[in-house]
Structure 1
Amino acid sequence: MDTKRLNETSKFLSYVLRHEPQAIGLQLDGEGWADIGSLIAGAACDGRSLDIALIQAVVDSSDKKRFSLSEDGLRIGAVQGHSNASVRIQYIEKEPPALLYHGTATRFLDSIREKGLIAGSRHHVHLSQDMPTAIAVGQRYGKPVVLEVEALRMHQQGFSFFQADNGVWLTDHVPANFLSM
């Protein structure tokens, strides 16, 4: 399948499944699942041609495993990264490793030093288990910098951590005193 079409479809699915399902008249349930038939119909009304084979190809080819299909193959959901208020995925709390990483751009460092890492419009702060992934994330926003998060120490002090199905670690907030560069 055409790589450009897969990338465009992945970006579209990220947009509607994470942030703006109403843009195509799509309803997500509380766990973020959408009916694939409704997704295809809503995309068609928006002038986009989707089918089950294309959706499956996007799910299968995503290196970051952004999406998952229900066991019956009738629903699709974004694994994490939601900003939609109607979605509240119930992740299981886990003990994190000693260190996690957050990739960002240097232009955000002053704010981060002051406020720590905040979720912003998303439901959680996203953390990586390895430096290369964090660098890749940071590059999307400008000149990258990787922050080291003392995740286990945070957890021992009462902060909750979760891990999405694609391996991304999630927490509500990382105070500045748990960060180093």
Structure 2
Amino acid sequence: MIRKCNEHGYFRGEVCPECNTKGRHVLGDRYEERLGKFVSGALRHFPNATGLEMDKKGWVNLDQFCNILKQKYKWATKESLISLVESDIKNRYEIDGGYLRACYGHSVDVELDHCECDLPYLYYGVSQEEADMILENGIKPVHQRYVHLSTSYGKANDAAQVHTDNPIIIKIDVDVARENGMSFMSATDEIVLAKQVPSEYLSIANFG
């Protein structure tokens, strides 16, 4: 569920993680799940099907989105949408003024403009069966606009374990790739986006 603390804003769970107060109820679990699925689909995969006008950088008008949302779910409010965005620990969405967008995960054709990542290395987890193919052919998006890279070995391992029990972690030499004109965008503190990563920048990572 989503609640709001008067001092620390929106949070998920029973009590505010900052001050341990209960706060005001905003959205129950069932409604949170339904709203989250719609927001993800509309902002990442099918904006046109919902009637949204999305610009090239993935932004949609917040008020237009709320109007469309209200037509689909009578219980949905602008606050419920904002609470979903601001309480999301994965930082999947962002609001800037009167506009809203997904930060990553797009299958629609967008050109995101996040800040450039300044880390020297990034990581990408794959199954043992995929490792040799990736090292030979590079990392390319399959169902998404960008490949999603992790900022640490541990985060890459966690992400890969959703799909495989014993992932192989590949290290990307970002410094060298950047010198050769590649761009790596920081979508969140944990996720970095690239259009693709050629094989010459890849190697098997040692733990840590």
**Could you tell me the TM-score, scaled by structure 2's length?**
0.72
SS where residue 168 of structure 2 aligns?
strand
RMSD over equivalenced CA pairs, Å: 2.5
SS where residue 77 of structure 1 aligns?
strand
Aligned to 1:117: 139
Cα 1:105–1:43 shift into 2, 3 Å: farther
Separation in structure 2 between the aligned mates of residue 108 and residue 42 of structure 1, nearest angstrom:
41
Q: How far does the alpha carbon of each residue in 1:16-75 deviate from its partner, in whole angstroms, 9 at most, with x for none?
A: 10111123222212221112333233334545743212211211221121111122xx32
Separation in structure 2 between the aligned mates of residue 107 and residue 11 of structure 1, nearest angstrom:
31
Q: Within the alignment, does 1:76 sit opposite 2:107 as a pair? A: no
Aligned to 1:179: 202
Q: How far does the alpha carbon of each residue in 1:94-133 deviate from its partner, in whole angstroms, 9 at most, with x for none?
A: 3632211113344433431332101234332221211232
Aligned to 1:156: 179
Give the length in aligned residue pairs: 177
**In proportion to residue count, which structure has more helix?**
1
Aligned to 2:36: 10
Separation in structure 1 between the aligned mates of residue 76 and residue 93 of structure 2, nearest angstrom:
15
1:1-181 to structure 2, matched below 5 A, reads 1=2, 2-46=28-72, 49-71=75-97, 74-85=98-109, 87-92=110-115, 94=116, 96-143=118-165, 144-164=167-187, 168-181=191-204
Identity score, percent: 25
Cα 1:102–1:22 shift into 2, 3 Å: same
Cα 1:5–1:107 shift into 2, 3 Å: farther
Runs of 4+ with deviation above 6 angstroms:
none
**Could you tell me the TM-score, scaled by structure 1's length?**
0.81
Aligned to 2:18: none
Aligned to 2:9: none
Separation in structure 2 between the aligned mates of residue 50 and residue 166 of structure 1, nearest angstrom:
29
Separation in structure 1 between the aligned mates of residue 122 and residue 128 of structure 2, nearest angstrom:
18
Q: How far does the alpha carbon of each residue in 1:132-171 deviate from its partner, in whole angstroms, 9 at most, with x for none?
A: 3222221333334322111112112332222235552222
Unmatched 5+ stretches in structure 2:
3-27
- Kindly provide the amino acid, as one letter, of the partner of residue 14 in structure 1: S
Deviation at 1:178, TM superposition (A): 1.9
Separation in structure 1 between the aligned mates of residue 164 and residue 33 of structure 2, nearest angstrom:
21
Larger Rg: 2
Larger RCO (CA within 8 A; separation ≥ 6): 1
Unmatched 5+ stretches in structure 1:
none
Deviation at 1:90, TM superposition (A): 3.1
